[in-house]
Structure 1
C-alpha cells in the first residue's frame, strides 16, 4: 500500500510538472532569437529554448528526494549549430543527471521498505496461526452439544469474527500486492495509463469487507465485556433472551458506521482503492465506534479487577497466592476484552517518527494478529469444561471401537462433567441420611458449584460446599451466574 501510494503521488506531480513545462515553452517560443536549441520536455526535465553552451536546469521538483530538501541540477550541452549534443555513436541526447539521483535517499527508502516488509511477514504469520487455531476451536465448540450454552455461543461468535478478520486482512494484502505490482512503462502513454489506473470494484469491496469484519470483531469483544459484567452484577440471568440482542450488537452494529463511511467515500473522497484515508473526519466515522468499544471494555476490565481484588484480599487465608491469582486474571482478561489496544489509541504516525514509529507499529500489529490465537488457546484449548468433554468423548470412542480398554485407559476413566458431579453428590447425601437412621424427604438441593476434579473412585472425602439460592452457578437455561463466573471465569480461566 505504501509503495503504491508513493508511485501514484509521483505520477500526479510528474503530470503537473509536464503541463507547466509545456505552457512555459509556448511563451518562450516567440521571444527567442538567433541560434538556439529547441526547448523540450524529455519526460524527465524541462529544457528551455537555449543559446549554445552548457545548459543547467534544477532537478525536477516532482522527484521524492527533492521533497526532502535535496537540491541539484541536471545538465545538457547546446552545440554551435543549435542542436543538443548526443551521446557517442548514438542518436540519444546526452544528459547528466548525477546530482538528481542521491544514493543516500534510496538507501534510506530501501531500509524503510525492508522494515515494512518484515512487519507484513510477521503479522501475516500471526493471522495465519490465529486462523488455524480459531477454526479448530470453533469446530470443537460446535461439535459437542454439552458445550452449547449462552457463554460458549458468545465465544463461538467471537471466534467467528476473529476468523473473518484474519481472512479479510490476508485477502486485502493479496489484492493490494496484485494491484500495485510493478508495471512496465516504455513510453509516455504507458505512464499516463498508470497515472489513471482502472480501479476494480473488487478492490474496494475487499476494503469495505475488511472494515466491516474488524468492526464486528471489536463489537464482539464489547459483547464479551457486557456479558461478563452482567454476569457479575446480576444474580440470575435470562441469557436465552439476551443472546439475540448480543447477536444484533455483534453483527448489525458495524453496519451503522460502515454504511455512512461508504457513502462519504463515494461522494467526498472517491480516490484509489479506498485503502488510504486522507480525511480525518471521514476516517473517524469508522474509528470512532471502535474507540468507544475499547473504552467501554477498559472500564469493564477495571471494574472486574476491582471486584476480584476485593474478593481475593478478603480471602487471603484461603488463597495465600492471591497476588499471583490477581495478576493471572488481569492477563487473562486482556485478550478477551481487547484492552491492550487502548495503549495505542492516541499514538499515530503524526505523533512519532523514525524507529520508534516502526517499533510501536510492530508491537501493535503483532499483538493484534496473535490475539485470535491467544483467545482460542485460553477460552477453548485450556478450558476445563472443553478438556473434560474431549476426554470423555475419547474414552467413549476407545470403549466402543477397542475391546481392550484397559490397554488405553487403565482401571479408571477420568473426566469431569456436570452429570458425574450430580451423581456423586446424590450418592454422598443419601449415604449420610441413611447413616443417621432416617430419610429426610424435605431437603431440596440447589444447583451448586463444586470445584472438585477427581476420579470416579471412593477415595475422595473432601467436604462439599453448597451455595444458597441467589448465587447458584448454573441458571435454568444453561448459563452461568456469579458463583462460577468469579471462581472459574477469572481465577481458574475456565470461561
Structure 2
C-alpha cells in the first residue's frame, strides 16, 4: 500500500525509492523507504500487527506549501463554480430570447442556440460532477462496512457523470468549431447553402464527440478503472479525448487567421482612414475570439504536464477563469448586446404596450357597430405579409 517491494534476504533491511506518485516527489526523489526482513524470512510487524516500514525520508519536508496548494485549488474551484453559475443564468436568458422571438429564427441564430445549449450542458455537468466528487470523497473517508457498499454505488454514478461531463465539454468545443466553419463558409464559399449545411453541422457538433468519448469510457473501464476517473495517471488513455479536442482548437485557430486576413483585405479595399481601419479590425478580432474560443489555442501552447509550480497554478487559474465565464461573454456579445436582438425586443415591447393601450382605450369607449376602417385593415394585412420578408432580411 505504498511501494512495490522486491525480495529481501532474511535478517536484512530492504530499501525502495520513494514512490513517484507523491505530490512532493521532486523534494524526496533521492530518498528511500525501508522494511526489515526478520530472521525467519517474514516482514517485521509493529505493535498494531501491521507491516513495519520507515518512510520518514519520503515525507513532505514542506507541509506549509502543501496547505497553500490545497487552499489555492479550493479557491479556484469556488471561482469557476461562480463563473459557470453566472454563465448558466445568462445563457438561459439568451436562449429564451432567441427561441421565443420568431423573427430571429434563422440558420445563424439556430447555430448560436446550439452553442448556448452546449455551454449550458457543460456548466451543469461540471457542477454536478464536482458535487458527486465531493460526496464520493467524503464517503471514502468513512471506515464503516455499510459505507463501503454505498461507496461502490456512488462510484458508478460518479463515473457516469464523469463520462457525461467529458461529452458535454467535447460538444462545446465542437460547436465552437461549427461556428468557425459556418463563418468561414459564409465568407469564402460563393455558392454556400446554409439550410443544406445545417444537418452536417448538427452531426458534427453533437455526434463527433461520441466517437471518442465512448471509446475513452470503455478503455477506462477495462484498463484504468480507478476511483471516479478524475485522475489521468496514464496519459496515453487521456489522449483519446485530448487529441480530437486539440484538433478542433487548432482548426478553429486556422479559421480565425483566415477570417482576419479576409477582414484586412476588405477593410483596405474600403476608402477609410487608417485609424478607422485599425479600430474596425480590432473590434472584429475581439468579437471573434470568444465566438471561436481562440484563448484555448493559447493555453494549449503550454501542455499541462510541462507546467510546474507557480506557472502551473497561474495557467490553471487563468484558463479556468476564461473557460467558466466564456458562456457569459458569448451570451452578452451574440444576444444581449446584439443590435438585431435589441431592435426586435424593442419592437416586441412596443407591440405589447400598444395592444394593452388599445385594449384599455376600447374598454373606455362605447361599443361600435361596424368593422374597423378599411385603412386599418390594409395596414394590418400589409404588416402580416411583410413579416416573412423582414424575417429573411434580418437573417
Q: TM-score, normalised by structure 1?
A: 0.63
Task: Provide the C-alpha distance between the structure 2 equivalents of 1:256 and 1:377, rounded to a whole number of angstroms.
Answer: 32
Q: Secondary structure at the residue paired with 2:211? A: helix
Work out whether residues 134 and 159 of structure 1, in 8 Å CA contact, stay in contact via their aligned partners in 2.
yes
Matched, 1:13 2:2: yes
Counterpart of 1:370 in structure 2 is: 325
Counterpart of 2:213 in structure 1 is: 258
Counterpart of 2:46 in structure 1 is: 41
- Please point out which of 279, 290, 294 is paired with 1:339: 294
Counterpart of 2:90 in structure 1 is: 133
Counterpart of 2:196 in structure 1 is: 241
Highest relative contact order (Cα 8 Å, sep 6+), 1 or 2?
2
Shift of 1:399: 0.8
Shift of 1:134: 0.3
Work out whether residues 159 and 372 of structure 1, in 8 Å CA contact, stay in contact via their aligned partners in 2.
yes
Shift of 1:182: 6.8
Task: Provide the C-alpha distance between the structure 2 equivalents of 1:246 and 1:349, rounded to a whole number of angstroms.
Answer: 30
Matched, 1:149 2:106: yes
Cα 1:144/1:184, change in 2 over 3 Å = closer
Matches within 5 A, 1:65-80: 66-68=58-60
Matches within 5 A, 1:460-475: none
Matched, 1:282 2:237: yes
Work out whether residues 98 and 105 of structure 2, in 8 Å CA contact, stay in contact via their aligned partners in 1.
yes
Shift of 1:478: 7.1
- Structure 1 spans left out of the alignment, 5+ residues: 1-11, 32-38, 48-58, 71-104, 406-418, 424-446, 448-473, 481-495
Task: Provide the C-alpha distance between the structure 2 equivalents of 1:478 and 1:246, rounded to a whole number of angstroms.
Answer: 23
What do residues 382-419 of structure 1 show as CA deviations (whole Å, max 9, x unaligned)? Answer: 111111110001001111113599xxxxxxxxxxxxx9
Work out whether residues 45 and 60 of structure 1, in 8 Å CA contact, stay in contact via their aligned partners in 2.
no
Matched, 1:217 2:177: no
Counterpart of 2:374 in structure 1 is: none
What do residues 440-486 of structure 1 show as CA deviations (whole Å, max 9, x unaligned)? Answer: xxxxxxx9xxxxxxxxxxxxxxxxxxxxxxxxxx9x97796xxxxxx
Matches within 5 A, 1:269-418: 269-317=224-272, 320-403=275-358
Task: Provide the C-alpha distance between the structure 1 equivalents of 2:190 and 2:250, rounded to a whole number of angstroms.
Answer: 25
Q: Which moved more, 1:310-319 or 1:257-266?
A: 310-319
Matched, 1:28 2:17: no
What do residues 270-318 of structure 1 show as CA deviations (whole Å, max 9, x unaligned)? Answer: 2221111112211111011111111111011001111111111222437
Counterpart of 2:29 in structure 1 is: none
- Please point out which of 168, 172, 176 is paired with 2:129: 172
Alignment RMSD (CA, Å): 3.6
Counterpart of 2:162 in structure 1 is: 207
Q: TM-score, normalised by structure 2?
A: 0.78
Counterpart of 1:230 in structure 2 is: 185
- Please point out which of 74, 86, 93 is paired with 1:117: 74
Shift of 1:143: 0.2
Greater helix share, structure number: 2
- Please point out which of 160, 165, 169 is paired with 2:117: 160
- Structure 2 spans left out of the alignment, 5+ residues: 13-34, 361-381
